[in-house]
Amino acid sequence: MKALFGVLLLVLAAGCAPRDDPSTLVVFAAASLSEVFTEIGQDFERDHPGVTVEFSFAGSADLVTQLTQGARADVFASADARNMARAAQAGLLAGDPVDFATNTLTIVVAPGNPHGINGFGDLARPGLDVVTCASQVPCGAATEEAERVAGVQLAPVSEESSVTDVLNKVAAGQADAGVVYVTDAKAAGDRVTSVPVPEIADVVNTYPIAALQDSPRPDLARQFVDAVVTGRELLDEAGFGRP
């Protein structure tokens, strides 16, 4: 019985190890950062032998909710200032956040643009199945601002919890069009066609990043933040703008 109990303890400890291991850095980041942050994480691991970067990508609002409910992480990167402010107000940050990138919106449609969508106003066309992000998600708030700027009222068939969900629905043929970030459209390659929307070019989301207060690896967390802020080449290649 004692031996079995010991084995159970080892299994439980192993299940908890990744977030308690001093060599594992846990980063919560907006879904739109998934590809570029994965590359930044690989570079960080190469420059810090023995360190593993573990990512959790989701909508920024969902990530803040997870953190306020006790989820453990070392770094948080948001797709907007509003959700970073929520994290700050909850006492989650170890210091002031740093802006490291910007992003703008575009329309994605099926390859070849079969419905002939040429501008933001076309998304209000009757019979067109359009998907957007939910309003609490940064891309959703930006889409609402784009509607205001363009003078267009959309009636989406669904509102998703992350920008990648919007992209995937269009790519899978489950929607005729979606509003996503230019970086997501670029990363999707030939899975979708991007329709530029210069009329909403001034709708810009700024991305902040910060180390978290309860991180058991504060030095490593700050080093990762610095790596993101100074790692402009990968961000530029992914299509992100500069703050």
SS3 234: helix
- 153 touches 77 (CB < 8 A): no
- Among 130, 177, 171, 190, CA closest to 154: 130
163 labeled part of a ligand binding site: yes
Supply 154's token pair: 């959309």
Q: What is the dihedral of CA 203, 166, 158, 136, to 10 degrees?
A: -50
- 130 touches 157 (CB < 8 A): yes
Helix or strand run (H / E) with residue 25: strand 24-30
Does residue 192 come out as left (phi exceeding 0), alpha (psi in the -120 to 50 range) or beta? Answer: beta
- 96 touches 210 (CB < 8 A): yes
181 labeled part of a ligand binding site: yes
d(C-alpha 227, C-alpha 221), whole Å: 10
- The annotation places the binding site for molybdate at 32, 60, 163, 181
- The annotation places the binding site at 32, 60, 163, 181
